[in-house]
Structure 1
Amino acid sequence: MHYPDLAAFLSDAPKRLKKGPLALVMVEDDVEVASTFAHLRRFGFAQIIAFAPPELPFTTEATDVIRVDHDTSSDQALQRMLNGTIKALPGVWLFYCYNAEYLHYPFCETRSVGEMLSFMSEERRDSVMGYVIDLYARDLTARPNGVDRTDAYFDKSGYYALALKDAGGEPLERQLEIAGGLRWRFEEHIPKDRQRTDRVSFVRARAGLQMLADKSWSLPEYNTYACPWHNNLTVAVPSFRTAKALRRNPGSRDAISLFHWPQSERFDWTSTQLLDLGLMEPGQWF
């Protein structure tokens, strides 16, 4: 199915998409689009919706992928898509990512995304905190766009967390700013507002919920990594997006000849590796 614009999709969504979870993919370019869909398909999402510029040539013959023409490079494109979808589909669990990003959650090899969200609902949580893990190719001569799924690497250390503060300088309860990966090592090439790696990856749509300009959520509890009484499950989103950006920009491309460094580790595409390194946690889900 193909919608000519966001408005047409949002008008039709309440009739066609009453149940989730839904995967919302912001397609920015033609890199690893099919592999992104294939990866999400493994987890049992009720539907994958791809938002992409009209001129981007990819097709959606698969019945579980809906294409929506949407200028994903425009200002606040993500917020317009998410906020419209939230308003159209109250009560539905939504996951969002970009192409060349690959969701992992604890035990995802044997448990569906529906099982994970059912557990989070039992925990009285309406959001799931995630952390973007920068992936990159080892050989940038052979892989000039920085993307290599067959030989992907990431930083196994070098991550840090700072407490987020309110306008008065007081720490916000259970809210953290996470940094690390390529965005930390090459911060001089990354705008300050794009250096954070924490991302609330799943939300359950409800009245009054909106993603704000800084990508935080209008309901404060949605921005927290855990409930007040114990730690909750978190997810990871290994992503080539930063590597692509650093290789696409002429200034950073000419300044950076290698992403690989002594703290690089080859990604084995398992949740176990990410759990062992503390890049996500199962909370009380065993």
Structure 2
Amino acid sequence: MQAQTLDDYLKANHKRRAGPVAMIFVEDDVEVVTTLRHHLRIGFKTVLAFMPDQIALPEDLEHTVQRIRFDTAYDTVPSAVNAIATAMPGTWLYYCYNAEYLFFPFCETRTVGDLLAFHAEERRDAMLTYVIDLYADDLQAHPSAVSLDQAHLDRSGYYALARKRADTNWQPKERQLDFYGGLRWRFEDHVPAARRKIDRIALFRGKPGLVLRDDDTFSDPEYNTYACPWHNNLTAAVCSFRAAKALRRNPGSRQDIQTFKWTNSTPFEWHSQQLLDLGLMEPGQWF
């Protein structure tokens, strides 16, 4: 399929809103195909691949994903997300990057459509996801820190802090927290403070005027909450090699870090039950 610009896609598809829609932003050529296939497999009806022209896809993916010409070196992800959100009001949307994989409770037997249908019944228009860092166990064998077969994650070291409001003497925001952990926490000296959080509102409903900000929060405060006022809601996890890739790509951190493994590393089992057992996502009232 020939790549098109975002403007061309929006003009040609302004009446076609088959959701849920996944927006995959491709930053490099690492695990692009597995990322796209994973999100097709878990039930996204439309997958938009925002990627440079020079990255090739297998023929079957060229016919199953919508390829949009995009370069994260020059184009901004929030502007693209905001354009889609405005053009597709009421449609469930999701965004992530290559080498990131969405997991949610019971995703082995239920689709993302099932997940969002239940979430909507609870009068929720957005879902909190935790970005869980993945990394290869052996950086000599896997210099980029990416290995699906040897992927590890931290089984502990996650915590939350109250999110404060500057306009009310720094009082906590209602049902909003900043979450930390993983590689960004353990190697915080190499990570800018603004990039250390692991919370992302990756699943949300589009609506006109909705703005995704640079810190992965939205202009609508209710979108940024982890639960409704009445009870706990579903959460999901975006299992991601992105931080590990960045720490290995940066010359300073690459020299300082010989391994990402520590006493609380554990092999990633690529199964939602492991994430549930570790408390890295919640089923809420969904059983």
User: Do both proteins adopt the same fold according to a TM-score greater than 0.5, normalized to the shorter chain?
Assistant: yes
Shift in Å, 1:60: 5.7
- Distance of 2:213 and 2:280 partners within structure 1: 26
Deviation sequence 1:51-94 (CA, Å, 0-9, x none):
0123334456423211101121336x111110000111111100
What percentage of residue pairs aligned between the two structures are identical? 54
Aligned to 1:43: 42
Shift in Å, 1:47: 1.1
Where does 1:130-279 land on structure 2 (aligned, <5 Å)? 130-167=129-166, 168-279=169-280
- Distance of 2:136 and 2:119 partners within structure 1: 34
- Distance of 1:37 and 1:22 partners within structure 2: 12
- Distance of 2:56 and 2:26 partners within structure 1: 11
Q: Residue 227 of structure 2: SS of its match in structure 1?
A: coil
Shift in Å, 1:44: 1.4
Cα distance change on mapping 1:60 and 1:99 into 2, 3 Å: farther
Aligned to 1:121: 120
Cα distance change on mapping 1:190 and 1:60 into 2, 3 Å: farther
Listed as ranges, the gaps of 5+ residues in structure 2 are none
Counterpart code for 1:64: T
Shift in Å, 1:106: 0.2
Q: Residue 102 of structure 1: SS of its match in structure 2?
A: strand
TM-score between both structures, scaled by the size of structure 2: 0.96
Q: Is the 8 A contact 1:233 1:281 kept in 2?
A: yes
Aligned to 1:11: 11
Q: Residue 36 of structure 2: SS of its match in structure 1?
A: helix
Aligned to 2:65: 65
Q: Residue 254 of structure 1: SS of its match in structure 2?
A: helix
Q: Is the 8 A contact 2:3 2:53 kept in 1?
A: no
Aligned to 2:23: 24
- Distance of 1:54 and 1:154 partners within structure 2: 32
1:283 aligns with 2:266: no
Counterpart code for 2:111: S
- Distance of 1:13 and 1:81 partners within structure 2: 15
Listed as ranges, the gaps of 5+ residues in structure 1 are none
- Distance of 2:232 and 2:86 partners within structure 1: 29
Q: Residue 257 of structure 1: SS of its match in structure 2?
A: coil
Shift in Å, 1:183: 0.4
Q: Residue 132 of structure 1: SS of its match in structure 2?
A: strand
- Distance of 1:262 and 1:215 partners within structure 2: 30
- Distance of 2:284 and 2:175 partners within structure 1: 15
Q: Residue 226 of structure 2: SS of its match in structure 1?
A: coil
Shift in Å, 1:29: 0.4
- Distance of 1:93 and 1:60 partners within structure 2: 27
- Distance of 1:150 and 1:181 partners within structure 2: 19
Deviation sequence 1:93-115 (CA, Å, 0-9, x none):
00111000010000000001111
TM-score between both structures, scaled by the size of structure 1: 0.96
- Distance of 2:243 and 2:283 partners within structure 1: 26
Counterpart code for 2:77: L
- Distance of 1:8 and 1:164 partners within structure 2: 39
Q: Is the 8 A contact 1:3 1:9 kept in 2?
A: no
Structure 1 stretch 55-64 or stretch 111-120: which is displaced more?
A: 55-64
Q: Residue 27 of structure 2: SS of its match in structure 1?
A: coil
Q: Is the 8 A contact 1:2 1:66 kept in 2?
A: no
- Distance of 1:204 and 1:73 partners within structure 2: 27
Q: Is the 8 A contact 2:25 2:97 kept in 1?
A: yes
- Distance of 1:57 and 1:271 partners within structure 2: 30
Aligned to 2:107: 108
- Distance of 1:39 and 1:4 partners within structure 2: 23
Counterpart code for 1:36: T
Q: Is the 8 A contact 1:52 1:69 kept in 2?
A: yes
- Distance of 1:178 and 1:160 partners within structure 2: 6
- Distance of 2:162 and 2:229 partners within structure 1: 16
- Distance of 1:93 and 1:185 partners within structure 2: 34
Structure 1 stretch 204-213 or stretch 118-127: which is displaced more?
A: 204-213
Aligned to 1:98: 97
Q: Residue 149 of structure 1: SS of its match in structure 2?
A: coil
